[in-house]
Amino acid sequence: MSETSVQTSDPTEEYDWLDEVQSDTALAWVREHTERTERELHDAQFHTTVDRIREVLDSPDRIPMVTKRGEHYYNFWKDAAHRLGQWRRTTWESYRTDNPDWEILLDLDELAVKEGQDWHFAGAQLLRPAPGEPYRQALVRLSPDGGDQVAVREFDLENQIFVPEGFQLPVAKTSASWLDADTLLVASATNPLDTTRSTYARTVRSLTRGAELRDAPVVFEVDAEHVLAGVQVDSTPGFERTIFTDVLDFYNSRTYLQIAGKNIAVDVPTDVNVFLHRQWFLFAPRTDWQHAGNTYPAGSLIMTTVDKFLETGTIDRVVFTPQSNSSLQGMDFTANYLLLTLLTDVRSEVHVLDLHSNSEPQRLTLDDPLSSVSVSAVDDEDESCADEIWMTSTGFTTPTILSRGPVGDQLTPVKSSPARFSADDLEVSQHFAISADGTRIPYFQVSPRDLVLDGQNPVLMDGYGGFQHSMTPGYSPALGRGWLERSTADGRGASYVLANIRGGGEYGPRWHQAALQANRHRAYEDFAAIAEDLVRRQVTSREHLAATGRSNGGLLMGNMITGYPQLFGAISCGVPLLDMRRYTRLAAGHSWIAEYGDPEIPEQWKYVRTFSPLHRIFDEPQHPDSYPASLIWTTTTDDRVGPSQARKLAAAMMDRGITNVRYHEPQDGGHAGSTDNESTARMLATSYEFLWRQIR
């Protein structure tokens, strides 16, 4: 291909009409192909799969994960009787019983009947009360369709009603924080002036009770080319402050503290993540940071006090330094300890650091090295449990356990999920494939213990490879019932493979940055290398190998379809990015330029085009019969990626005579792909059924 043709030729423009999300013509095309897919797939076996998946999603003995605020433990819950769900709370004494007594704060199904509108709960923020007083006020976020846009309403926790004439913000991409009982700081993309090119809020306004948002004064704003303006009000007693963030791109931002009415910039490079907790700053550099004669490596965690750093730039200590095979995944504080969750070769570790000594961190003993573990504080402000932690442990075949206890003591299991699928005959193993450039790529494999290595086993690969997101083991009843319990006519059980490819965060920033922009191909080479390794080890063969991915994982799947069709028998490509020429103009795509590159710049479009599946189908044509069976799916209300990208690749493949492609697009669900347990079960069953019927 000539350089000129790379820059100017674009045969995909004939599909631009599918960008009109709600146009009659586009929706007619969507209905035609969605109905075709459902006629072929949604048979008795499909409905059985839906019922089995929905049963575990609705099961009443799932673990109700909670957040402690004051004396109460808050939870949001969906089941068969509560399609849209209930926001509720209970006490510790009740929570630890087998059947907690829940106080229902907001019943979304009742709200839907009352208002004639399905609202989907998207979280709540409580206003800190005066000392000794109960929590009384909350801001509740409600989505009309499961997308990113939400309405925000003030809620009365004592009377369990929305506050008449209270704060009420219209549906938009909005965040809001309580400044005090009568003032909110609101970042909302409600009009073009207040919206960035990435479709997020450009301004933060100070909204007083009774005023209109459009009239509220702007207290912080960013350039419209930046991603968003963020705000957080820290109401911790003794450390009250307002924090503004100017998000320049997905990996660069500037943090400002409002001090004496002025916004003071935190003087660190824009690719250093800034965290505040009480008197401490924590800094996490994404690249090596040169500061005051010292080098702080990418992926490390640095700690100092706020006052000292603002005055002199002094760093107190480095609390984590990554090794070549380790990375920081999360952190939290109890009253006297810093909790660090790490991965070493994608195996969980938990380290505990005493905040009042210079001693080395202590490592907690974990039971299963192939499980995932996360820890968090229960409530560092409550003296009765100030140094207690939650620990959640989960594995592919190990049901989730929630434990609690003081730091340094034996933790007590509080809740455990019962087994939801038959796993007695399954075993979990970890392997490493060698990618095209010689890099070792880890992956997990879940297979029958008696697996015969003859290349005939049905296998489902799963991957993501972007935005420094780590793929780790976890117990998924839906995966178990929808895939792992399946067997072929000759009795072969299904296998599942989780890929830890570059672009993710399994080995920290370096693992992510290795597949950024012009190096994006490495993520795809890694995934292909794992597929080839499974064939080399005779676990499976092309005819019996399927793959699935969503969002950025959908982009991964699009590149498997168009770049590596010889490796897979079937692919499910969900809520995907696929048209990389136009992704920055669609929905929130402009915010991902730091990840993929800017196709509006000719030099960058040269490499972006090489991983744009919609363009690869034209630039690297294969025989129509050589492509894997492909299910491409999204939702009409996906306001993050947008549905047109999925539509375009499906249409282009069909027009090029590729007969084994199917398309599916339900209306609601947003980027998550579903709004309730029924639609989640149908979404998963559609994918599993399609893949299984192609490779069994």
d(CA 43, CA 50): 11
Instruction: Answer whether 434's CB lies under 8 Å from 529's CB.
Output: yes
Is 521 in the active site?
Answer: no
Distance CA 591, CA 435 (A): 29
Start-to-end C-alpha separation, the chain: 39
**Contact between 190 and 170 (Cβ < 8 Å):** yes
Alpha carbon distance 504, 513 (integer Å): 9
Interatomic CA distance for residues 619 and 606, integer angstroms: 12
Among residues 340, 320, 321, 322, the alpha carbon closest in space to that of 331 is found at 340
Sheet holding 252-259, edge to edge: 228-234, 241-249, 252-259, 262-265
Burial 197-234 (b: 16+ CB within 10 A, else e): bbbbbbbbbbbeeeeebeebeebbbbeeebbbbbbebe
Tokens found for residue 48: 């059985």
State phi, psi for 8 to the nearest 5 degrees.
-115, -30
Q: Which stretches within 192-290 are classed as H helix?
A: none
Judge whether 126 and 157 are in contact, CB under 8 Å: yes
How many whole angstroms separate alpha carbon 563 and alpha carbon 3?
A: 20
Which of 80, 160, 86 is closest to 119 using CA atoms? 86
Whether 77 and 58 have beta carbons less than 8 Å apart is answered as no
CA–CA gap between residue 317 and residue 357 (Å, rounded):
11
Which tokens in the block code for residue 629?
């069976």
CB 321 within 8 A of CB 297: yes
- Distance between CA atoms of 346 and 369, rounded to whole angstroms? 9
Residues in Cβ contact with 111 at an 8 Å cutoff, skipping those fewer than 6 apart: 84, 119
**414 Cβ contact partners less than 8 Å away, ≥ 6 residues apart:** 95, 96, 402, 403, 404
In sign, the C-alpha dihedral spanning 289, 294, 300, 303 is: negative
Q: Please state, in angstroms and rounded to a whole number, the distance separating the CA atoms of residues 693 and 662.
A: 13
Question: CA 644, 648, 650, 651 torsion: positive or negative?
Answer: positive
- C-alpha dist (Å) from residue 608 to 247, 516, 518: 23, 11, 7
For residue 447, the Cα-to-chain-centroid distance in whole angstroms is 26
Q: Do residues 428 and 497 make contact, with C-beta atoms less than 8 angstroms apart?
A: no
The count of residues in the chain is: 696
The residue from 551, 612, 630, 674 that is catalytic is 551
Q: State the residue for tokens 């006629």.
A: 39
Q: Is 551 a catalytic residue?
A: yes
Residue ranges in 70-208 assigned as alpha helix (H) = 92-95, 108-115
Of 476, 495, 671, 674, the active-site residue reads 671
CB 58 within 8 A of CB 684: no
DSSP-derived pairing of the beta strands 426-434 and 440-448: antiparallel
Shortest CA distance to 644 belongs to which of 606, 614, 604, 673? 614
**Is there a contact between 396 and 473 (Cβ–Cβ < 8 Å)?**
yes
The catalytic residues are 551, 671
